[in-house]
């Protein structure tokens, strides 16, 4: 998806964890360092992967695989692996030196998908997060 594809993303709303925010969809698509790939079956969205290029002064740019989702009825058909591979190919073409994702220890389906797509377990990190109140 690229800038201008907001309506196509909105058509895939059921694949996302939360209701889509039209302004956030536009902001995401307008940024050339943000990537969203949607998989279709017979014209219907059945999965997506999103990624964000992350650059650091001493490391260069890598792709953070932000989220992967495949409709329950279309799982175990290679869609997730194909989406991850496509994001990896886009990362290579953009000059990224690598790609990474965090997955929960108990998420066996995610681990299997990422392994099938060629990923290796590098570490078992702790994830810390900060929640901020919106100033809407």
CATH of residue 86: 3.40.630.30
Chain mean position to CA 119: 14
pLDDT band at 136 (very low <50, low <70, confident <90, very high): low
Q: Which domain holds residue 103?
A: 6-116
Residue 99 falls inside a structural domain: yes
Q: What is the pLDDT of residues 22-80, one digit of tens each?
A: 999 999 999 999 999 999 999 999 999 999 999 999 999 999 999 999 999 999 999 99
Query: How many domains does the chain divide into?
Result: 1
Residue 127 falls inside a structural domain: no
Residue 128 falls inside a structural domain: no
Residue 107: CB atoms within 10 Å = 12
> How many Å apart are CA 91 and CA 18, to the nearest integer?
26
Residue 85 falls inside a structural domain: yes
Residue 102 falls inside a structural domain: yes
Residue 79 falls inside a structural domain: yes
Does the pLDDT value for residue 10 go beyond 80?
yes
Residue 111 falls inside a structural domain: yes
> How many Å apart are CA 40 and CA 48, to the nearest integer?
9
* Cβ neighbours for 84, distance < 8 A, ≥ 6 positions apart: 49, 65, 68, 113, 114, 117, 119
- Global pTM? 0.87
Residue 132 falls inside a structural domain: no
């Amino acid at each position: 998806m690229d800038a201008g594809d907001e309506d196509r993303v909105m058509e895939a709303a059921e694949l996302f964890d939360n209701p889509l925010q039209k302004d956030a969809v536009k902001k995401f698509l307008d940024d050339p360092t943000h990537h969203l790939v949607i998989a279709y079956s017979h014209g219907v969205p059945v999965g997506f992967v999103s990624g964000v290029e992350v650059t650091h002064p001493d490391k260069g740019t890598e792709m953070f695989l932000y989220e992967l989702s495949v409709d329950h009825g279309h799982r175990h058909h290679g869609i997730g692996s194909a989406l991850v591979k496509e994001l990896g190919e886009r990362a290579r073409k953009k000059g990224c030196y690598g790609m990474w994702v965090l997955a929960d220890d108990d998420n066996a389906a995610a681990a299997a998908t990422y392994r099938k797509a060629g990923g290796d377990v590098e570490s078992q990190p702790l994830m810390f997060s900060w929640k901020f109140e919106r100033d809407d």
